[in-house]
Amino acid sequence: MNRIVRSGWAAAFALLFMISALPAFAAETKIAVINIQEVLLKSAAGTAAKDKIDKRMKELKDALDKDKQQLMTLQDEMKKKSAVWSEEKKQEQGLEFQKKRREFEAKQDNAEMEMKNLEKQQLAPIMKQLEGIVKEVAKNKGIAIVLPNNTVLYSDSTVDITGEVTQSLNAKLK
């Protein structure tokens, strides 16, 4: 029992010592935050990538909307005319509708996959450059840790390096 009490006191003392050392560590360690989304939206490279992605997304959406409208028209036609169709014709049209619906769903899946690949293709080189620039800015300012601003509950605006990183990214990718 004495051994347990002594080890408990030792652990409490060690914890107290570490907590008391934290302010000294925090005072020496410079931390900054960055809004990566803002950098991507405000940098020239990010804007160009977004424009390409948006253009392709609109093209795909327009094509899918056209196919969806055709599918809805076929469904409406089936509802209106099914009363006068024979059972064989109803089955035939039902199978045709199911086939077109599956084709539409496959097109949707392909479009979604294409958009994910396009985003990766467009953003990967920018993110690679951005990582190097963040390291460079942090090193120049003596910053030990850079966190995304969306993971921090509060930060003073003086520790935000978003603007500086955006300027450096624009300069480097000209």
Residue 24 has pLDDT above 90, yes or no: no
Mean pLDDT of the chain: 87
Domain count, the chain: 1
Q: What is the largest CA-CA distance in the chain?
A: 93
CB count in 10 Å sphere of residue 52: 14
Query: What CA–CA distance (Å, rounded) separates 46 from 127?
Result: 9
Nearest one of 54, 40, 36, 59 to 123, comparing CA atoms:
40
* pTM as predicted: 0.71
Provide the percentage of residues in the chain whose pLDDT is more than 70: 84
**Looking at residues 118-128, what average pLDDT do you find?**
95
Q: Residue 159, class by beta-carbon neighbours within 10 Å (0-12 exposed, 13-18 middle, 19+ buried)?
A: middle
Which has more pLDDT, 118 or 152?
118
Token pair of 53 as six digits: 């992605």
Identify the domain containing residue 109 by its residue range.
Answer: 2-172
